[in-house]
Amino acid sequence: MGVPFEALLPYAVCIGMFGFSGAALSKIRAMQNGGKRARHSVDQWDRQMMDRDRRLTGFLRGQTDNVKAPAGFELSNGWRLERGFI
């Protein structure tokens, strides 16, 4: 006894919607990362380098090959200041 195709249409719709939403989320994450795939297992060194790249280029995942830093980079200090004792 065969299964009528009308019974399989809701399954096809559900699978299609899950596939579409997964592809859309993947595209949005790639757009937020400057067109690059998301990073995994980011340690302190990677965070420090990403912060430096953000200060150099303005983007978290941006990189540059300029020899000289842009104007104003010497004022964007990466060191975090601790609060003094008052």
Judge whether 50 and 58 are in contact, CB under 8 Å: no
* Global pTM value: 0.57
**Tokens 């420090």 label which residue?**
48
> pLDDT tens digits for 2-55?
778 888 899 999 999 999 999 999 999 888 888 888 888 999 998 888 888 888
How far is the C-alpha of 75 from the C-alpha of 86, rounded, in Å?
26
